């Protein structure tokens, strides 16, 4: 199962929940390239089964 990442920008309100490390890295890289902002990707815990 793909890991989920919270991609957050420290300079604006950009925030995305992304599935997969490669995709998260690409989203972060694109935002950084477009804006010059500093972006971090935080790994999220696995989704819990909804009860």
Binding positions for Zn ion, rule: CB under 5 A: 9, 11-12, 14, 35, 37
DSSP, collapsed to helix, strand or coil, labels residue 34 as helix
Nearest approach in angstroms of CB 25 to Zn ion is 16
Nearest approach in angstroms of CB 8 to Zn ion is 9
* CA–CA separation, 27 and 40 (whole Å): 10
In the chain, % helix, strand, coil (3-state, to 5) comes to 30, 30, 40
Nearest approach in angstroms of CB 50 to Zn ion is 32
């Amino acid at each position: 199962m793909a890991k989920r990442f919270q991609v957050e920008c420290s300079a604006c309100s950009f925030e995305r929940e992304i599935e997969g490390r490669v995709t998260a890295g690409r989203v972060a890289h694109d935002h950084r390239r477009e804006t010059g902002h500093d972006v971090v990707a935080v790994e999220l815990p696995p989704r819990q089964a909804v009860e």
